[in-house]
Amino acid sequence: MYLNDYLDDIIRNGLKKPVELGELKTEYEPTRRIYENRSRLVFFTVEGSPYTCYSNILVERKDLYHLLGVNSDVEAYEKILWAVENPAGIERVDFNEYYKPVDNTLYDIPFIKYYREDRGYYLTSSIIVSCIGEVCNASFHRMMRLNESEAAVRIVPRHLKKIVESYHNEGLDAPAVVLLGLHPLYEIAAATSPPYGVYEFSIASRLLGDNLYAYTPIHGIPIPPYAGIVLEGVITREKAREGPFVDILRIPDRVREEPVFRVERIYVNRYRNPLIHAIVAGLDEHLLLMGFPREPLIYDSIRRVTPGVRGVRLTRGSGGWLHAVVSIHKTRRGEGVNAGFAVLTGHPSVKHVVVVDDDIDIDDPLMIEWAIATRVRGGEDIHIIRNARGSTLDPRGRDGVGDKVVVDATKPLEEPWDKYRMAGIP
């Protein structure tokens, strides 16, 4: 269940070739070196931190297939959806058996300035856990270091925000922990959006076949006993300016007033040396880790309206977030349109959807463009929804509200295939 063991396994079996980069500067150099070695698993340290960073563990779909033990997208979707619907329970273990406190500050943690446009030094793989009553949430949130004990946290309007605001509305700081250096299945789970009340780590527990949880000493928050570093503290009612930060579209996100996380105690794992995931915004690993966990939700939404869904892809050109391409086997009129609108239900951040027939390779942008060129009549097949809730990452939107477009690029059922089929090379 430890990240270290998983990395050793994929290296030993030749699935990833490692490269040691040595000590790097905390500004920009990690971004450049990770990009230069994007086909390899990289390890490095940064100035002033005793902890080792790694990157490029999940950059291709084959990396995800190996992680999940599957051979295709649909198998992966079905496995993740099964775990969401059947989350594991909790077996409590002693926190002190797995973690020990250390005399560190946030200056010992490898916060990195990845781009010149970034306001400050960031953690990009920080998974924050907070609970209220029996409800716990685990999700990714970038953190910008402010001083030795505080960091500004970008909290989007989802489940963590709901929990934090519940505390703040009562005049209380929200208890929280920040986890670093977890097995990638915990990361995949933290990037999903199950229904409120389903603890994301219980999804990972189901996939891993392990349901051990240690309750943190100060606030009693249940966490896996396998993290490299644990920062226990509170999300305060104080605000700080966070951003700009270059995000998934390689565009600087704007400055906002965001809550401040104050660390009260730092722990490290007793059994494995901590490793910190350095995720460079806008590179393949960020796109895959952030976007792929949304594809099962899109797939599930589409199959409720058409059984002929063959594939789903959040495209690289849209940051793995704003554009979706869906392949279906159409048997009834209107299925293409229904599939397109189902995408918007499954992943409301999507801005543009293209639905194609199952003879089109959804990983080939030229084939997708060919389908639009040959099978779309604008007045009939392009559908626009105005002023819908979308993504705050869309620079053309206004505070997350904008227009959405569904393009039905499937062949009309009543017309012959020969009119729309691409001839093969003789």
- Domains annotated for the chain, with CATH where assigned, are 3-289 (2.30.110.10), 304-419 (3.40.1670.10)
Question: Are residues 180 and 53 in contact, defined by beta-carbon separation less than 8 angstroms?
Answer: no
Q: Which region, left, alpha or beta, applies to residue 69 given φ > 0 means left and ψ of -120 to 50 means alpha?
A: left
Longest dimension (CA), the chain: 73
Question: Are residues 263 and 41 in contact, defined by beta-carbon separation less than 8 angstroms?
Answer: no
Predicted confidence at residue 399, as pLDDT, reads 85
- Asked whether residue 30 carries a pLDDT value surpassing 90, the answer given is yes
φ, ψ for residue 225, nearest 5 deg: -80, 15
**pLDDT confidence of 393, banded at 50, 70, 90?**
confident
**pLDDT confidence of 424, banded at 50, 70, 90?**
confident
In whole numbers, what is the pLDDT of the chain averaged over residues?
95
For every residue of 242-303, DSSP letters joined together read: E--EE-TTSSEEPPEEEEEEEEEEEEEESSS--EEE-PPTTSHHHHHHHHGGGHHHHHHHHH
- Asked whether residue 388 carries a pLDDT value surpassing 90, the answer given is yes
- Asked whether residue 418 carries a pLDDT value surpassing 90, the answer given is no
* Beta bridge pairs of residue 234: 175, 262
> Going by C-beta distance under 8 Å and a sequence separation of 6 or more, which residues neighbour residue 75?
68
Q: What is the rounded distance in angstroms from the CA atom of residue 248 to the CA atom of residue 364? A: 21
Query: Closest Cα to residue 329, out of 345, 349, 314, 311?
Result: 311
Predicted confidence at residue 1, as pLDDT, reads 85
Predicted confidence at residue 400, as pLDDT, reads 87
Count CB-CB contacts under 10 A for residue 168. 16
| 247 catalytic residue (yes or no) | yes
- Asked whether residue 275 carries a pLDDT value surpassing 90, the answer given is yes
Q: What is the pLDDT of residues 296-315, one digit of tens each?
A: 999 999 999 998 999 999 99
Query: Closest Cα to residue 224, out of 202, 193, 194?
Result: 202
**Is pTM, for the whole model, over 0.75?**
yes
- Asked whether residue 245 carries a pLDDT value surpassing 90, the answer given is yes
Q: What is the rounded distance in angstroms from the CA atom of residue 392 to the CA atom of residue 360? A: 31
Q: What is the pLDDT of residues 127-185, one digit of tens each?
A: 999 999 999 999 999 999 999 999 999 998 899 999 999 999 999 999 999 999 999 99
Exposed e or buried b for every residue in 111-134, given b needs 16+ CB within 10 A?
Answer: bbbbbeebbbbbbbbbbbbbbeee
Mean pLDDT of 330-334: 92
Annotated catalytic residue: which of 73, 173, 247, 357? 247
Mean pLDDT of 56-75: 95
Q: What is the pLDDT of residues 342-352, one digit of tens each?
A: 999 999 999 99
Count CB-CB contacts under 10 A for residue 415. 10
- Asked whether residue 96 carries a pLDDT value surpassing 90, the answer given is yes
